[in-house]
Structure 1
């Protein structure tokens, strides 16, 4: 029995050394995908907040963009106002006209792992709401 045990000594360490890199990659991939899904949901919520702002009577495109940027920065996602599109400008919209707010961010800007296979992917969210002008 001792002869068998001495031949197997260190086998678990070798097996772990062979399997560990794949397990680590799997765990990191799950974390990175989870981050992407979380940011996608944040973009959806931010575009909704922006569209809600755009529907209000005194809204401007700049105020809508700032609302979206502030919402995302509170959630530790950095975007610039140029990543937010508002069409048409809320200050020129008619009553009951649909206003579209779109937020786009590249995955390479929000990913935690550099060199990810998702670097070419762009996450985006679009929300449409009718303007509520009280003319």
Structure 2
């Protein structure tokens, strides 16, 4: 067999072509399958987290919520813990405000030098009574009667499938859910106003 006829025969030989083609397709196919499972798990966890937060929000509006906070928080953590790895971090935060319009707002101050910063002894309204100016005027906890409360949960856990590097995704998944509620009007709302000076 001459060299030329050998190359002609080799060119017509298709045995092993399927294996070679699968070698090209397999990595993309596996990445897509893992990505779909990863995305589905994140969406399911997010839906479960939002549901748990809505239920906790309803429970926290009751007058007895002050004595039940730990139980309500633990219920949220337990429900989320069913679908995330044991190494997951679940952080819960409650910030109470005088009214809904205060949520996410900075404490008011008098900008005497017009530099857009609370400094140089400028007076401010200490809405959360912590003795310093804050970019968020919410006070830790669920507050008192008629207060508006922002209840937030942040869940962080390592991805379940080792495809994040190939897809350019971060190793950690972070999901966040919030609910806003108003405490029942079981008493008069605290209208005390404290002031301070910016440093």
1:40 to 37, 46, 62: 46
TM-score norm. by structure 2 comes to 0.55
> Would you say the 8 A contact 1:105–1:122 is kept in 2?
yes
Quick one: structure 1 residues 42 and 69, their matched pair in 2 at CA, closer, same or farther if it must change by over 3 Å? Answer: same
Query: Are residue 123 (structure 1) and residue 172 (structure 2) matched?
Result: no
Counterparts of 1:98 and 1:67 in 2: how far apart (Å)?
22
Instruction: Identify unmatched segments of 5+ residues in structure 2.
Output: 1-8, 97-140, 188-199
What is residue 83 of structure 2 aligned with on the other side? Answer: 76
Query: Are residue 58 (structure 1) and residue 64 (structure 2) matched?
Result: yes
Residues 24-46 of structure 1: per-residue CA shift (max 9 Å, x gap): 01110111111111111122112
Counterparts of 2:184 and 2:175 in 1: how far apart (Å)?
29
Structure with the larger helix share: 1
Quick one: structure 1 residues 115 and 105, their matched pair in 2 at CA, closer, same or farther if it must change by over 3 Å? Answer: farther
Counterparts of 1:123 and 1:114 in 2: how far apart (Å)?
19
Query: 1:13 Cα deviation (Å)?
Result: 1.5
What is residue 153 of structure 2 aligned with on the other side? Answer: 103
Query: 1:58 Cα deviation (Å)?
Result: 0.6
Instruction: Identify unmatched segments of 5+ residues in structure 1.
Output: none
Query: 1:70 Cα deviation (Å)?
Result: 2.5
Number of aligned residues: 126
Structure (1 or 2) with the larger CA radius of gyration: 2
Quick one: structure 1 residues 41 and 53, their matched pair in 2 at CA, closer, same or farther if it must change by over 3 Å? Answer: same
Counterparts of 1:125 and 1:31 in 2: how far apart (Å)?
21
Matched position secondary structure for 2:153: strand
> Would you say the 8 A contact 1:51–1:128 is kept in 2?
yes
2:160 to 112, 116, 125: 112
Q: Pick which of 58-67 and 48-57 moved more.
A: 58-67
